[in-house]
Structure 1
Amino acid sequence: MRTSVAIIGAGPAGLLLARLLQRQGIESVVLESRSREHVEHRQRAGILEQGTVDVLRDCGAGERMDREGLVHDGIELRFGGAGHRIDMAALTGGRRVMVYAQTEVVRDLVALRIESGAALLFEAEVSEVRGADTDHPRVHYRHDGAEHVLDADYVVGADGFHGVARKAIPAERVRTYERTYPFAWLGILADVAPSTDELIYASHERGFALHSMRTPQVSRLYLQVPPDTDARDWPDERIWDELDLRFAVDGDWRLERGPITDRSVTPMRSFVAEPLRYGRLLLAGDAAHIVPPTGAKGLNLAVADVTLLAQALTAALGHGDDSQLGSYSDTALRRVWRAEHFSYFMTTLLHSDPASDDFARRLQRSHLDHVVASAAAATSLAENYVGFPLGARL
């Protein structure tokens, strides 16, 4: 079997890259180790930057998003018993975000891929990538009980942090940077209308809390917890009681409760691998970098990566110009490190570090006060949150 681009992973990065290439007449095969049902039901973040929204619309994947997504012009920072709105649209010349779950983005892209008849193989487990540093890379995988080999001009690893693609790069040719945070998120989905029109990021002495939403009828909420937390130790009532405490504000605001349909614990870490290219193997999305979810950057970074890759691969395969592939890693990493810094900023600004002393806590409160009092500080937060235009030099 042969193709122009072998894409490992049918998450948003791999599926969107396949869609962008297809619209440029570039053939690809997408290999995914999990089942379609699993892929389409994985719960992930759901905040889309303006640039991500634009890319999905332009490639024909925005119809349901525009119909069902929730456009947000701002967020609320809540601390000290008061809420402070950051008007992102006003501070960034009208740029805003869309609340539309990654689960739904994946479903839309899967449907488009299948409708087009292009190759998308679920339960195709890749074992290794060979010859990445040659002109003829090969992907070895198992599907329908048999071993297969896929020859390609280029291989894109979009198979996540634990995937095989990054492991195909010799250890001496890649450098990794990592930070693990001393807390995690307990996230829930609840069948109850959101208690807020926009996201609430709450900083409290008991820990961080986030009120988000999936739809007008489904709420998504998070609590900062110790990293070794077992979600089974948190029954519904305990979760709602703790959320009530952390969202407490002077006034008549009330957190509505409802049946919890899903709960899970997400570790908090930052990770970057450099470079993002080894020969004809290119990395994108979580295979190359991880950000803590506080800044809502994971999915958006993946979209930025594959937007660059689609342009570079089209130039190389369609016009014999590989200059954009040569600069892909450096260009993508500038945005990656900007997002890493912003995610670190939001995480340390809002979470309670169990190792912090009174001095550190007072500094944190001073920083929060400054962000909501200074137009310049609020603008910096807003422009990072809504995302810089794709193609902007950062």
Structure 2
Amino acid sequence: MQYRKNEKNGEKISALGFGAMRLPTKNGMIDREKAKKQIYYAIDHGVNFIDTAFPYHGGSSESFLGEILKDGYREKVLLCTKMPSWSVKKYDDMEKYLEKQLEKLQTDYIDYYLIHSLGKGSFQRLKEIGVLEFLEEKKSNGIIKNIGFSFHDNGDAFQCIVDAHPWDACLIQYNYLDEKTQAGTEGLEYAHSQGVTVIIMEPLKGGILADVPEEAQKIWDKAPVERSPAEWALRWVLDHPEVTCVVSGMGELQEVQENLQVAEEALPGTLTSDELKLYYEVKEVYHDLMKINCTSCGYCMPCPVGVDIPSCFEIYNHKYMFKTSGTSFTYLTRLGGVFSGNESHAGLCNGCGKCVRACPQKLEIPALLEGVSKELGGFGFQYRVKIGKTILVPLFDAFLSLSERFSRRSRA
């Protein structure tokens, strides 16, 4: 296994991390024997970073890991989990959730504790109730070894958050289609320059880069070496020296084995110029399938009224490029600010035209935003946002609680 260093404390972290958000399931529950076999195999072959979070698998991911890591495996791994930021309303909530997570994980400490899904609005809210002071206190007590955050917002918000605290680590979405979205390459390089250990999620963009369009597969077939689309995607991320670890959600043992081999071989800066040209061609295929020819360059930002223009177009394009369901829900929760507290949806546009003057692609952005708002927002969007903020989060918390109780009962 290839290991890369946390420059702040010298820890050697496996280039491949195991993501416990997409464990194999059976009858809607974690397939415990299958998942245990895969995780043990990964650890036995050098993986030492495992990533989970409070809501994964309906709240049962942490409990499952706590059970299977008891028999000597806990000492072999760096365990990463996340504070459910949307459920934290006051200082005492942070204590409550951390204690609960330590209990579920059956451990006295957490190696990497991240604020989950941090954005500009949620960070400001959490700072006001003392999140940074809480994390630093737990770090000084040894309960948390490294402090960080996972991120889903725009580049400007990312840099502001990085600058706000001497973080140990961050978890960002990054792949060859997301060079200019969310934190992007610029954010990756900036965080690394500030001494922040950068861990990558969604290297396959939720599997989209593993199951590629036919036109893209024809391009990969031109390469002199045969690789699966998943391997091409993983190699691209690992080629960046700023990346410390790539977290992959692996549901089959074969996927674990393939990714282990890639992580062993894919050293930084080893992709050839000819191979990099193939990535460019594949990206062009995806871009040709887009409804809106937005490159996510960010010249249109910041919007005077707070619209996250690149993200609006990204979600809209995603619907047509990959024929996936759930884009309206993603639009509601992410850009409606249900969890982040920061509304940035297309319906906020007032047609000022500042973005049009700045856009290198000469897109008629207000008109395009109107279309996005009608299709992804639709009638009653603001009402659904209000419902989401006042009802969805409490319901989600209640679901996690019930799921956890059911999981405990099934194990008893």
- TM score, norm. by length of structure 1: 0.30
Q: Tell which has more relative contact order, 1 or 2 (C-alpha 8 A, sep 6+).
A: 1
- Which structure shows the bigger proportion of residues in helix conformation? 2
- Which structure shows the bigger proportion of residues in strand conformation? 1
